[in-house]
Amino acid sequence: MFSPSPMLLKLLYTRGSLHNLPDHGGVAFSLKNRLDTVHLTGISSVRVDGRTLGPEQITLDLGDGNVRPATELGEGGGLSFPVGQSITIRLHTDPLPEGMHPVHLQFRAEPFGELNVEVEDAIVHQENARVRIPRQDQDDYSEAAIQARQRFAEQFSGQQFEHIGKYSFDPHMLQGNCEHFTGVAQIPIGLAGPLRVNGEHAQGDFLIPMATTEGTLVASYNRGMQVLNLCGGVKCTVIGDAMQRAPVFVFDDARGARDFAKWIEQEIGPIRTEAECTSRVAKLQYIDTYLANKFAYLRFNYSTGDAAGQNMVGRATFAACSWILENYKGAPIRHFYLESNFATDKKASQINVMRTRGKRVVAEAVIKRDILQQRMRVTPEQLAYHGQVSNVGAFLSGANNNGAHSANGITAMFIATGQDVANVSESSAAVIYSEVTAEKDLYISITIPSLIVATHGGGTGLATQNECLRMLGCVGRGTVHKFAEIVAGVVLAGELSLASAISSSDWVSSHEQYGRNR
């Protein structure tokens, strides 16, 4: 449990929520718990525009028709306020004019005691003619709510939809995964392999589910897997594991930022304690500090178990930064932001290539000369030389990798297994290397420095996605490194296949044969 600083307490308030209630029913605003689960034991007062309102003039709307007077808060140990929940505070007062208004909320929450939130928010003109997507507060995943949205979509677009509304799972399992659920996008799944993986965590033959609408993709990966299997399989190794959140602290000058960075290095022990108290899984490994101008960027690096962990590390870093804001006694911190764009979430970046984000995995194999010539119609020398030429092209273009198409296999597996597909932006970064061995065979390897995968949480528990993970044997505790090794092996198969097709001039003819859809 951490102590929220005044700077972080402001984040409880939902900006833009201040509004007048209809029919002169008062004024309302919203709070959302973005810190830690607490018990509200009392609201002392709310002050708006200098006017102070006591508990007898305040009502709490908890949603689902649950409305309680603030005077009842102290009864029965208070009101549970878990992380992620929102509460609407209703004030029995005259309407506010349009414009900015200072709002001060004083309340009690266990285990913290008396807390204060001070913000400014605006009353703005509400447009009554806004078109709204239908939803139900009580159960937005009910059949009635879903059918209302389906009818709305047809009426709004003037089209009829036959396939979107057909699915085979209970929509209630989508809570936390998809809002305004209306139907499904059916993406074809093709099977490639089996692929023989010689990893430390993945060992054996694996049938690979690939969700795609791109013709030739599954066939190409399947061809690469066959060649790898004929040469004994693909050797895969996880060499790094870290997930980041990167807050920034703003000072008056560079000297203040520098001294702060030194203090952070000295206080890593209590910072780690505060971060890890928010999760049984997240473990703070280290903090990288980068200074520029008057800014101190801290890149917190965690291990996150079988989860990808972006939300987990956000919460842990939030707790750590709250402790930092409370305990740093040096130059004043003028501003703080939980994310500075330096973790580069869902963006390709050089720092992820160098420092790892997610899993850092290497897949490698030795392809026998005769097999390469018989199956791919190229020699090791042709592929190695082609790789050198491609390196120049990748360098000139500023690409995030020097391979052929790592994003293809990663995306197809991500969709099939319920990964966050936007993470392909950083997961597709790759460093490929090949050479002709002393025996005149081809050694080929690929390093994926920021492969963000999970076998727990997110979309991995959904119906078809979980079935695909079960096909790979990647469900249950301790399976994320196994899954990472399989993905890396699949990527190498695709690199080998496409590079060979381009070198042997089979690329266009293969697309004509398998990918033609016109």
Element (H, E) at 209: strand 203-211
326 vs 310: CA distance, rounded Å? 24
Neighbours of 36 (CB within 10 A): 21
Let me know if 214 is a catalytic residue.
yes
Amino acid identity of 212? Answer: T
Cβ neighbours of residue 20 closer than 8 Å, sequence gap 6 or more: 26, 27, 95, 96, 123
Note whether 347 and 340 are within 8 A (CB).
Answer: no
Let me know if 511 is a catalytic residue.
yes
**Residue 102: strand, helix, or coil:** strand
- Active-site residue identified among 274, 420, 426, 485: 420
**Residue 326: strand, helix, or coil:** helix
183 vs 163: CA distance, rounded Å? 8
Cβ neighbours of residue 321 closer than 8 Å, sequence gap 6 or more: 8, 247, 336, 338
Question: DSSP letters of 378-445?
Answer: --HHHHHHHHHHHHHHHHHHT-SBSSS-HHHHHHHHHHHHT--GGGHHHHT-BEEEEEE-TTS-EEEE
Note whether 187 and 465 are within 8 A (CB).
Answer: no
3-class SS letters over 130-165: CCCCCCCCCCCCCHHHHHHHHHHHHHHHCCCCCCCC
Note whether 230 and 371 are within 8 A (CB).
Answer: yes
Nearest to 500 by CA among 395, 367, 407: 367
Neighbours of 361 (CB within 10 A): 28
Largest CA distance in the chain: 87
**Residue 78: strand, helix, or coil:** coil
- Active-site residue identified among 72, 154, 214, 276: 214
Catalytic residues, by residue number, are: 214, 420, 511
